[in-house]
Amino acid sequence: MHKLHKLRNCIPDEHYVQTLFAMSELEGELERRAMTYNLWNQSAAKMENNWHPVTFSYADADTKQINEIKVVTSHP
């Protein structure tokens, strides 16, 4: 069974749940937030099969981290 689980790595589309809620007239249950920064370059060994950006916590919001985010520029 464990081997079968490893072969079936099913990741739902990032917009599926939001679309389903909208179709069910539950848009009020969604939280609308703009994404201002994301980090995808986590270590593959540390985050195996993690297809999502790093989740930051309150502890990550120190002065150093905020300043690093401020200097990020978008790539063409």
Question: For position 74, what pLDDT does the model report?
Answer: 62
Question: For position 72, what pLDDT does the model report?
Answer: 74
Q: Which residue has the tokens 């120190």?
A: 62
For the chain, list residues with pLDDT below 50.
Answer: none
Residues 6+ apart with CB under 8 A from 29: 21
Global pTM? Answer: 0.36
Question: For position 56, what pLDDT does the model report?
Answer: 80
Length of the chain as a residue count: 76
d(C-alpha 49, C-alpha 61), whole Å:
26
Question: Taking a C-beta distance cutoff of 8 angstroms, is the pair 53, 39 a contact?
Answer: yes
d(C-alpha 29, C-alpha 8), whole Å:
30
